Homo-oligomer: A and B are copies of this chain.
């Protein structure tokens, strides 16, 4: 359950946090009924504004992944794991599809697209391995 945020990344910080929490749930790192880290703790750990963490959590509440237990904090809802898994896949699919569609409408040929895909797949495997080893970055 180690989160990290990249501020100079284009992707809003609150989104990065929300995604990583959702991923943790999808992978079982955070189980149903468990408390997520408190806004204050997490914000300190990530060195971001508490409002930002709060916003990430709010978004996950809106997606019915987290719910507030009065006097306790935010916990993972029942059914959240399946939802996160499904959602993760759906988002991935949409993103890839949109890139591919744009590639087509810019007249890249099937062969070019295929070769780009193959290269990216290989590169991602290599990079993933590297990250697993290094395990530290900025």
Residue numbers of A with Cβ under 8 A of B are: 7-8, 12-13, 19, 23, 26-27, 62, 67-70, 72, 88-89, 92-93, 95-97, 99-108, 110, 112-113, 116-117, 119-121, 123-125, 127-128, 131
Contact, CB under 8 Å: B68 / A97: no
Inter-chain CA distance A95–B13, complex, in Å, is: 19
* A56 vs chain B, min Cβ distance (A): 13
- Oligomeric state, in copies: 4
B residues in contact with A97, CB < 8 Å: 120, 123-124
B residues in contact with A110, CB < 8 Å: 125
Contact, CB under 8 Å: B105 / A120: no
- 11 more CB-based (< 8 A) A-B contacts, given A19-B106, A26-B107: A7-B69, A8-B69, A27-B107, A92-B103, A96-B117, A100-B120, A100-B124, A104-B124, A110-B125, A113-B121, A117-B121
A108 and B93 in contact (CB under 8 A), knowing A99-B99, A100-B121, A100-B124? no
B residues in contact with A12, CB < 8 Å: 70
Contact, CB under 8 Å: A23 / B101: no
Residue of B nearest to A90 (CB): B116
Contact, CB under 8 Å: B105 / A92: no
